[in-house]
Amino acid sequence: MLLSGRGSNFEALAEACDRGEIPGRIVLVVSDVPTAAGLEKARARGISSKVIGAGPRATRVEREAELAVALAESRVDLVCLAGFMRILSAEFLARWPLRILNVHPSLLPAFPGLHAQEQAVRYGARVSGATVHFVDAGTDTGPIVGQAAVPVLEHDDARSLAARTLPVEHALYVSSVRRVLEGGWRISGRSVNFPAPGLA
């Protein structure tokens, strides 16, 4: 798992793994921010953690080379981004096709990139939400695994909308990671098609 901040999505996934809701376990947490709260949360759970490319002089090539080694050494099957504020290169992503997931706080393709809730409020959207998608070389453009809607209320600002979206985001990430790890899905065009229940 890659994160840059407080690690709330990490906690949601870790707790779901502990409850057996996800058929897997988190083996490594990586951050580019040495003081990220998510790192402390990982250490408290006894999960291996690592800081990579935090210095201002670290280049993307150096950072991604170190990250690739760490992921390989930990035998990672699926990489989950949880508030990771670095853009991964197309070269790095090509080494992990359909094995990197991200959660984004909007109903993509609406409001990609930074400050999604602020974008939604400013645009006058009536519905926002969260999206889990495979990561590709674009900005929040990969095939969509799952989505969940959150209404935008009349007096919402970016902060209040974000606060209501966060628990929805957590639940969606848990269910999406579970479905991906259960297997049996396929990509058709831009659609991720999952098997009917009981047929995986």
Compute the distance between CA of residue 132 and CA of residue 179 in angstroms, rounded to an integer: 11
pLDDT-derived band at 198 (thresholds 50, 70, 90) equals low
pLDDT at residue 96 tops 60: yes
Q: What is the pTM of this model?
A: 0.95
Phi-psi group of 16: left, alpha or beta (phi > 0 → left; psi -120 to 50 → alpha; rest → beta): alpha
The torsion defined by the Cα of 71, 107, 162 and 125, in degrees rounded to 10, comes to 160
Q: Are 84 and 41 in contact (CB under 8 A)?
A: no
pLDDT at residue 200 tops 80: no
pLDDT at residue 192 tops 90: yes
Catalytic residue among 104, 115, 155, 170: 104
Q: What is the pLDDT of residues 137-161, one digit of tens each?
A: 999 999 999 999 999 999 999 999 9
When pLDDT is averaged across residues 53-59 and rounded to a whole number, the result is 79
In 32-110, where do the E strands start and end? 49-51, 79-82, 100-104
List, in order of start, the domains of the chain with CATH numbers. 1-96 (3.40.50.170), 103-184 (3.40.50.170)
- 115 as an active site residue: the answer is no
When pLDDT is averaged across residues 154-172 and rounded to a whole number, the result is 98
